[in-house]
Amino acid sequence: MLDHDLINRTLQTALSAGAEFAEVFVEDKRSSSALLDDGRVEELTSGRDRGAGIRVVHKDTTGFAHTADLSASGLAKAASTAAAVAQNNAQSSSTDRRSVAVDAGGAVVGTSARIAPSDVAKSVKVQLLANADAAARASGSQISQVSARYGDSRRRILVANSDGLFAQDDQVRTLFSVSCVASGDTGLQTGRESVGRTIGFELFDETDVTDLARRAAQRAITKLNARPAPSGTMPVVVGPGGGGVLFHEACGHGLEADLVAKSASVFAGRVGDQVATPLVTLIDDGTMAGEWGHYRIDDEGRAAAHNVLIDKGVLTDYMWDHVRARKEGRNSSGNGRRQSYQYLPMVRMTNTYIENGSDHPSDIIAGTESGVYVAQLGGGQVNTATGDYVFGMTEAYLIENGEISEPIRQGNLIGNGPETLKLIDAVGNDFAMGSPGTCGKDGQGVPVGDGTPTLRVTALTIGGTAA
């Protein structure tokens, strides 16, 4: 993406004021999207974003500058700016200089996409939207509105630093979603389905968008006849895939090393402790080929990894980026991520999930006399310092006499992450990944995946509207 000698000169400039560490991150991202709303193409866009972010670390101070000018002079100016910020804020007069040479021999290049989305005509992409719209509307007269969106991106990155690292990656992602609104006596109800993979247009060889649309429509129609959710504390069975976001938010963020270092995590200082029942093994895995949070290297050039965070209930490690791992004298876990070249990297999740257990899903439900079955969770929020969370339930049902019965609506799931981990008494053998997501943290969003098998929590609070 950039001349190797130019990278070396830029790093040399960044180190010229005596810094201990310097990094160049270069990104070239192309994206396109299409939106069909109520049978009309409302958006058809494409764009390109290209630039470099330069980070300089001196003592405990980080200087950062970014630029869209990838010329030698543009990179030199950004490197000098980042170096000056780090030097001034560190209040040091040191001017020791280091030489650096990065080795391009180990670079990782090439995308694994079989069909480049850029090679597919826009008319073909729009036809997918039209097919989804037609399928959703054919699902029932109650469907009053349909919105379908297609998106793809190709993100090429180059990372080089003063430790001699030089690595590249080529990431292609493709996404499709359908949202439906159903109208009835209970007002308007919504249903949504989405699919996203870190692959090319071959996504649609394995995904039928009409089936996706019918599921979204049926979810909205079902909620028209749903009862208001109950209120109170009761057993909750979380279905495969759709409940993974619960553990992403309630536990995952608290296991990110930057929050731990700030004592903003309820899991700080607890490595080696039993923090969950022995049924729970929690993993963050950027190596899951094809999944939405997959990559070969993170945004600091470290290889993606399969990181066991909780092993049979015992907290074994946190997620680490390079700078924080460097301070602790350990290796990064490959979790340094950034939204774009305009941002500093920070510790972020990739694909976070609970491993399969040995229970049969039907036995878990049959063994629950009464409670709530959550098939899909919506948006939520968590206080990482306390572990308290709240999530909306976008598809949920009552469990009565050991069977899934009537659908419910307008309910929230309320609990505490560490307490929830200790209240899991059954884990199924039907693991599935959930829908693709975008995780927000400190103003940055990155693609993530999450998953879970069917599992039961013995007591969670349902915040419903039923009298």
- Using H for helix, E for strand and C for coil, what is the string for 360-401? CHHHHHHCCCEEEEEEEEEEEEECCCCCEEEEEEEEEEEEEC
**DSSP assigned state of 119:** G
Looking at the fold, whether 232 and 207 belong to one and the same domain comes out as no
Q: pLDDT tens-digit profile of 47-59?
A: 999 999 999 999 8
Residue 48 shares a structural domain with residue 197: yes
**pLDDT of res. 97:** 43
Distances (CA, A) of 94 to 77, 87, 90, 91, 98: 21, 8, 10, 9, 12
Quick check: 378 pLDDT over 90? Answer: no
Tens of pLDDT, residue by residue over 283-327, are 999 999 999 999 999 999 999 999 999 999 999 999 999 989 998
Say if residue 209 is in the same domain as residue 239. no
Instruction: Categorize the per-residue pLDDT at 354 as very low, low, confident or very high, splitting at 50, 70 and 90.
Output: very high
What is the rounded average pLDDT of the residues 420-425?
96
> How confident is the model over 87-121, as pLDDT tens digits?
876 554 444 444 455 665 555 567 789 999 999 99
Same domain? 168 vs 274: no
Indicate the Cα dihedral angle 247, 248, 251, 254, nearest 10°.
-170
pLDDT for residue 381: 83
Residues 177-234: tens digit of each pLDDT: 999 999 998 789 999 999 999 999 999 999 999 999 999 999 999 999 999 999 999 9
Task: Say what the pLDDT of residue 104 is.
Answer: 58
The confidence band for 74, taking pLDDT boundaries of 50, 70 and 90, is: very high
CA 103/CA 167 separation, integer angstroms = 9
At position 415, the amino acid (one-letter code) is: G
- Evaluate if residue 137 carries a pLDDT over 90: yes
Indicate the residue among 183, 199, 224 that finishes a domain.
224
Each residue's pLDDT tens digit, 319-348:
999 989 998 999 999 999 999 999 999 999
Find out whether 351 and 294 touch, Cβ atoms under 8 Å: yes
Which positions ≥6 away from 121 have C-beta within 8 Å? none
Q: Does 309 share its domain with 393?
A: yes
The CATH number of the domain holding residue 107 is: 3.30.2290.10
Task: State the pLDDT at residue 107.
Answer: 52
Q: Which residue has the tokens 């993406």?
A: 1
Q: Are residues 341 and 434 in the same domain?
A: yes
**Which structural domain range is residue 397 located in?**
227-463
Residue 63 makes CB contacts below 8 A (sequence gap 6+) with 19, 55, 56, 57, 81, 82, 83, 84, 85, 86, 87, 89
Both 240 and 218 in one domain: the answer is no
pLDDT band at 243 (very low <50, low <70, confident <90, very high): confident
In angstroms, the CA 395 to CA 406 distance is 11
**One domain, residues 212 and 321:** no
- pLDDT band for 464, please (50, 70, 90 cuts): confident
139 and 252, same domain (yes or no): no
Looking at 194, 209, 224, the residue that finishes a domain is 224
pLDDT attached to residue 60: 86
Q: What is the pTM of this model?
A: 0.94
Average pLDDT of the chain to the nearest whole number: 93
Q: Is residue 24 pLDDT above 70, yes or no?
A: yes
- The residue that leads in pLDDT, 301 or 410, is 301
**Phi, psi for residue 83 in degrees, rounded to 5:** -65, -40
How many other C-beta atoms can be found within 10 angstroms of the C-beta atom of residue 314? 17
Q: Which amino acid is at 293?
A: G
Same domain as 207, residue 127: yes
Domain edge (last residue) among 198, 224, 250: 224
- pLDDT-above-70 percentage for the chain: 95
| Model pLDDT, residue 382 | 87
Confidence at residue 1, expressed as pLDDT on a 0 to 100 scale: 76
How many domains does the chain divide into?
2
| 39, 146: one domain | yes
Amino acid identity at 326: R
40 and 92 together in one domain: yes
